[in-house]
Amino acid sequence: MQTKEVYSIVLEDQIRNFNRLLASFFVILGEKLKIRQVLSKKYMNQIRYSLFFALLLIALPLLGQESLKNTAFTYGEELNFEVSYGWLDLADAKLQISRRAHPQDEVPHYKIDVYGKTKGAATLFGKVNDNWGTYLNSETLLPYQSYRHIEEGKYRKHELVYFDQKNKKARLELYDRENKNLKEAREYSLLTEVQDLVSGFYYLRSLNLTKLKPGEIVMIKGFFDKELYNIKLIYEGTEKLETKIGVKETYIFSPEIPANKLFRGNYPIKVWVTKDQNKIPVKIKANLFLGSLNLDLVSTKGLRNN
């Protein structure tokens, strides 16, 4: 008789409720808790994906606001982050702008890459080595092309998206496991100018955030993973925050998240952006069903404004 494997999340005194006694799980000893948290591989994967979901929601552009000339970032900038769950270090992440301009249609573009790689005990649940990127028009701050190269355990995905912002179209291309042969190509109607996951964050940094008032709701739009997104972003105000690069005055944003079993509350994700000319993210926090996921800035290079 074939036995169905069931993965779950339980507390120590609930381990007997597993449908399969030998189900894979990972034990974390809580420093301030009297109980142990037992996290399954499935739940750890959900934590990993929640990070990308959080980035998606806070990175897409604030449409409807007047964009300023970019004075926040420049070529050669590098932002380095640590990703953690409680005291467990999960991954390192890096946001990097190329040192030189990349011309597209005779217009200089920023080539921007985001790298994410698991480390330490997190590799027990599958190694992750991802690269997300964009070519961002330096004049319009709209993406010309985006790409994703995903390596997560045995899973591979190689994707290119070409944006025709003038005609409001996007062409998506998917390649094989070795990123050599085209498997699928499809065109999408956009209806409006859009950002991708990476470019949207840099567009956000170009805006005049000082005009926002606490409680103000801004609609955001973007194209990601074959979908158009239209999400609410709430500005919560400012806060002085102690970070790994010093004490910073910050703006706080919270995206509205649809009800689900992973996050806690209506506004479970918060992002802190420095209240200065650079407008860099110093912290992202996602409150999960059990515990919280944190992304903290640990070092910077090549900032435009010192």
Q: CB count, 10 Å around CB of 122?
A: 22
Going residue by residue through the chain (306 aa), what tens digit of pLDDT does each one get? 443 333 333 333 333 232 222 223 233 333 333 333 444 555 555 555 555 555 555 454 444 445 558 999 999 999 999 999 888 888 999 999 999 999 998 999 999 999 999 998 888 778 889 999 999 999 999 999 999 999 988 999 999 999 999 999 999 999 999 999 999 999 999 988 898 889 888 888 888 888 889 999 776 678 888 888 776 778 999 999 999 999 999 999 987 776 666 777 777 889 999 999 999 999 999 888 778 889 999 999 999 998
Residues 6+ apart with CB under 8 A from 43: 7, 9, 290
Alpha helices in 19-153 (DSSP H): 41-59
Report whether 253 contacts 233 (CB < 8 A): yes
In a domain, 5, yes or no: no
Identify the three-state secondary structure at position 26: strand
In a domain, 241, yes or no: yes
Q: What pLDDT does residue 34 have?
A: 35
In a domain, 226, yes or no: yes
User: How many residues in total does the chain contain?
Assistant: 306
In a domain, 283, yes or no: yes
The angle formed by the CA atoms of residues 95, 100 and 106, to the nearest 5 degrees, is: 115
Q: Give CA–CA dist 148/264, Å, rounded.
A: 29
Q: Total domain count for the chain? A: 1
In a domain, 4, yes or no: no
Residue type, 209: L
Q: What pLDDT does residue 258 have?
A: 66
In a domain, 30, yes or no: yes
Alpha helices in the chain (DSSP H): 41-59, 197-206
Q: What pLDDT does residue 290 have?
A: 78
Residues 6+ apart with CB under 8 A from 280: 79, 205, 273, 274, 297, 300, 303
Q: What pLDDT does residue 237 have?
A: 95
Q: Could you read off the pLDDT of 240-257 as tens digits, one per residue?
A: 999 999 999 999 998 777
Q: CB count, 10 Å around CB of 219?
A: 11
Q: What pLDDT does residue 240 have?
A: 97
Residue type, 102: H
Q: What pLDDT does residue 13 have?
A: 33
Q: Note the pTM of the prediction, 2 decimals.
A: 0.79
Domain of 45, in residue numbers: 10-301
Q: What pLDDT does residue 15 have?
A: 30
In a domain, 306, yes or no: no
Q: What pLDDT does residue 260 have?
A: 65
What's the alpha-carbon Rg for the chain, to the nearest Å? 20
- Contacts of 168-171 with C-beta under 8 Å, sequence gap 24+, read 168/192, 168/193, 170/194, 170/223
Q: Could you read off the pLDDT of 122-172 as tens digits, one per residue?
A: 887 788 899 999 999 999 999 999 999 999 889 999 999 999 999 999 999
